[in-house]
Structure 1
Amino acid sequence: MPARVLSFGMVAEQYERYRPGYPAELVDLVLTYGNRPIRTALEIGAGTGKATRLFAGAGVAVTATEPDGTMLAELRKHAPAGVETVRAAFEALRLGATYDLVYAAAALHWTTPEGRWSRVAALLEPGGVFASFGGPTQLANPAVADAVRAARAPFLTSDEIPSPDGTPPGQAMQWPGTELQRCEWFVDVQQTVIKRRLTVSARDYVGHLSTISAYLTLPTPQREQVLSQIEQILPQRVELSADIIVHLARRRPDQ
């Protein structure tokens, strides 16, 4: 996993260009769940700051943390005034300060499982909110998806990241909700799906694939070959299913 965690820096500009951002509905969902003012937030693995901008735009004072220096530099190009940025892995963050909200945008699966939840709890105010959100961006047309899988097969069996705790894809509660439900520090665990469809050009879809860790960790000649083959079999425009799975939990006020 470590190689995949730190693979994004070499495509930071492409990541900013091709990865979809987040809708306003997401920040509304998180702030409403809070049921009290959320003034401060800590972001885990902020990447180029797509979620950072969303929460900062809603008036939240965000401290955005990111271990990769190149990704952080890209974030700083786009971050609104007032966003504090810190180069650090989640596991290396100094404890002491606490926040109304701790959140991770498509980044929590990169954190170390041991001590993850006790550290999140230590960073939250009692009664504070934890949020994790993300989800795969998949081809909506089954025939096109099958063709892409066939083109990819000689290089990669899959380009997705399996559930960190082995939760099957069809189970009602997905990770990290499964872990949060068992965690002594959190209550009121909720899962919500924000449905989303996007239509992009074949070139932009391949650009998106070029920012996915499974492709990034291939040797350069293989990566270029598989992406070229995928682009050749795609129609000019493709429809994507890009649902956002949101998990919310509250730190126990008595812990």
Structure 2
Amino acid sequence: MSGRALSFGAVAEAYERFRPGYPVELFDLVLAYAGQPIRTALEIGAGTGKATRLFARHGVLVTASEPDGAMLAELRKHVPAEVRTVQAAFEDLRPGERYGLVYAAAALHWTDPEGRWSRVAALLEPGGVFASFGGPIELADPAVQEAVRAARAPFLESDHVPSPDGTPPGPAMQWPGTELQRSELFADVRQSVVERRVTMTAHDYVGHLSTVSAYLLLPGSDREQVFSRILRVLPATVEVAADIIVHLARRRSGR
């Protein structure tokens, strides 16, 4: 697991405060795809439990795995008592119990591509569902977005995580759907979008940026400068487009 993947623990409280939660529409989408009640789920890279809460509050017995101890400690403050927690990277989970759902919320790109899908399949019941969801949080006003890009440019060309398999923006099927379609272990791959709009103060938007790995990896003095520059070009409140791109697939039976 890369240093970028493990950069979040130092800002666990900020991650909890500034990252938006997940709406009930996401749960409804996964449930409709499953076509039957989801009783058990394993979450990959649960962070502070934003997605954990969504599934647990709808009666799913969630096992939340997360490699970073600080993130897991923050998660335990916010999730129902029946949520199980495991401090482990996805690659260190050992197949044993199988689940009706395995999912990752803005975390799958941090996992090791080597053997990723065979590991997921081994954790799923035959016919079980895999879900991955997330997406960039973008300023809705193009002029404000451009002003922020210019303010950031001396320190950081881009703050996005690149597509792990190089799929460019635009094609109908994005990663990880592209990999799932190529895998013999999964079928019925689908991509959907749950629209999400959030209004926040300029300071809260910069607080969100403080949880983004690209900024976390900057030297501390550079990070302070870039946040100061961004704050100067932002209006008092901003609207962000935080659409959730959802990929769903079903484990083939008998494999």
Give the TM-score, by structure 1 length: 0.99
1:211-226 aligned at under 5 Å gives the runs: 211-226=211-226
Structure 1 residue 12 and structure 2 residue 8: aligned?
Answer: no
Which residue matches 2:33? 33
Give, in angstroms, the shift of residue 254 of structure 1. 2.2
Which residue matches 2:130? 130
d(CA) in 1 for partners of 2:37, 2:28: 12
Deviation sequence 1:57-100 (CA, Å, 0-9, x none): 00000000000000000001111010000000000001111000
d(CA) in 1 for partners of 2:79, 2:200: 25
Q: Secondary structure at the match of 2:189?
A: strand
Which residue matches 2:155? 155
Which residue matches 2:121? 121
Structure 1 residue 103 and structure 2 residue 103: aligned?
Answer: yes
**Corresponding letter in the other structure for 1:249:** A
d(CA) in 2 for partners of 1:198, 1:16: 16
d(CA) in 2 for partners of 1:57, 1:81: 11
Which residue matches 1:200? 200
d(CA) in 1 for partners of 2:198, 2:153: 25
d(CA) in 2 for partners of 1:54, 1:232: 35
**Corresponding letter in the other structure for 2:47:** G
d(CA) in 2 for partners of 1:39, 1:195: 26
1:177-196 aligned at under 5 Å gives the runs: 177-196=177-196
d(CA) in 2 for partners of 1:150, 1:35: 47
Query: Runs ≥4 in structure 1, deviation > 2 angstroms?
Result: none
Give the TM-score, by structure 2 length: 0.99
Structure 1 residue 166 and structure 2 residue 166: aligned?
Answer: yes
Q: Show structure 1 runs of 5+ residues with no match.
A: none
d(CA) in 1 for partners of 2:36, 2:76: 29
d(CA) in 2 for partners of 1:104, 1:252: 19
Give, in angstroms, the shift of residue 158 of structure 1. 0.2
**Corresponding letter in the other structure for 1:65:** S
Which residue matches 1:90? 90
Q: Show structure 2 runs of 5+ residues with no match.
A: none
Give, in angstroms, the shift of residue 37 of structure 1. 2.1
d(CA) in 2 for partners of 1:96, 1:16: 31
Q: Secondary structure at the match of 1:235?
A: coil
Give, in angstroms, the shift of residue 197 of structure 1. 1.2
Which residue matches 1:142? 142
Aligned sequence identity (%): 75
Q: Secondary structure at the match of 1:114?
A: coil
**Corresponding letter in the other structure for 2:237:** R
- What is the aligned residue count? 255
Which residue matches 2:69? 69
d(CA) in 2 for partners of 1:36, 1:208: 36
**Corresponding letter in the other structure for 1:224:** E
Q: Secondary structure at the match of 1:125?
A: strand
**Corresponding letter in the other structure for 1:237:** T
